[in-house]
Structure 1
């Protein structure tokens, strides 16, 4: 449940950021909504792998 909550929190808040977003020491600079979602999904996967 913790992992799904993390994903939901990140997904719901991702579109609120503009410019450079630092997430778990990863610098994410969204170019478009699709790109930001792809970056978020990629980094979220890496974070979840480290957690598990």
Structure 2
């Protein structure tokens, strides 16, 4: 029983830690970069051809 507990602890500790804390951090960073790319493309006039 003790060894099964140790195996489960090591199997689920890092994914649970990632889901709890780090997933939002990486998602926010990706969203920020996408907004920067979109605003640069908009400033360059990339989307104006679609409006005509």
TM-score range, shorter chain: 0.3 to 0.5
TM-score computed with the length of structure 2 as normaliser? 0.38
Tell me which structure has the larger Cα radius of gyration: 2
- The one of the two structures with greater contact order (alpha-carbon pairs below 8 A, sep at least 6) is 1
Q: Which has the higher strand share?
A: 1
